[in-house]
Amino acid sequence: MDLSMTDLERDIIREILNIGLARAADSFAVIAQERVLLEVPNIDLLMSEDIMRKVREYQSRHVAIQSDIRGDFNGTTLMFFSGQHIQRLSRVCLRMNAPEALEVNELQESLLLEISNIITGALVTQLANILKANIYGAPPTAPRGDIADMMQNLLPQQQLQPLIFSVITQFSDKDNMVELPLMLFFDRVTFAKILEIIRSYDFLGSQMSA
């Protein structure tokens, strides 16, 4: 099967994500007590070496939270919280004056896990509804050590050709925009399933008439 995307297919996938993330943004805004904007500016297909390099780059400057996608699809999400995010969310949600640092205590980690659970859960639910797939998100975890090295287990015999959705969350606070990267990985089989679903019927027409 041809795994290359047309511009229209890329736009369709981007719109699916926008719908799911819009719901997540509403829930997240209540937690953060701020106006929250989520955008999906890019959809990139990256080779395994490139993905590992990008994961390590993010991990060096963020605290990572991971959640696996299971069921009909096989994938993983990674959310990356900066020290500024942690400081701000600790103040707003925990009433805690915390430094802008990547070291978190148990309470802060639980908060990041819950936020990740809300955002990725909304996204997975929307993917399941639109693509008519039986999928669910596993409980999020805070991985220790080199995430990229751990993710080698997801790349058996180079079967995983990751589909990376570069999702940026922007917090609006006194004109200060803070990016919250979310990376979504699917293996080749799942990516092929998604493209087949999109190509198998008049996707845009059926969604507009729904």
Residue pLDDT, tens place only, 81-91: 999 889 888 88
- C-alpha 53/C-alpha 75 separation (Å) is 18
What is residue 113's predicted lDDT score, i.e. its pLDDT? 95
What is residue 17's predicted lDDT score, i.e. its pLDDT? 77
Placement of tokens 């936020």 in the chain: 115
Query: With the CA atoms of 150, 153, 157 and 160 taken in that order, what torsion angle do they form, in degrees rounded to the nearest 10?
Result: -80
DSSP summary character for residue 176: B
Residue pLDDT, tens place only, 98-131: 888 888 999 999 999 998 998 888 888 888 988 8
What domains are there in the chain, each with its CATH number? 7-201 (3.40.1550.10)
Q: Which helix (H) or strand (E) holds 115?
A: helix 106-131
Residue pLDDT, tens place only, 3-44: 677 888 878 877 887 787 777 777 777 777 776 666 655 666
Name the CA radius of gyration of the chain, rounded: 17
Nearest to 130 by CA among 197, 187, 70, 196: 197
Burial 15-34 (b: 16+ CB within 10 A, else e): ebbeebbebbbeebbebbeb
DSSP string, 119-143: HHHHHHHHHHHHHT--EEEPPPB--
The pLDDT of 63-73, averaged and rounded, is 92
Nearest to 178 by CA among 59, 53, 89: 89
Q: Are 172 and 88 in contact (CB under 8 A)?
A: no
The amino acid occupying position 25 is A
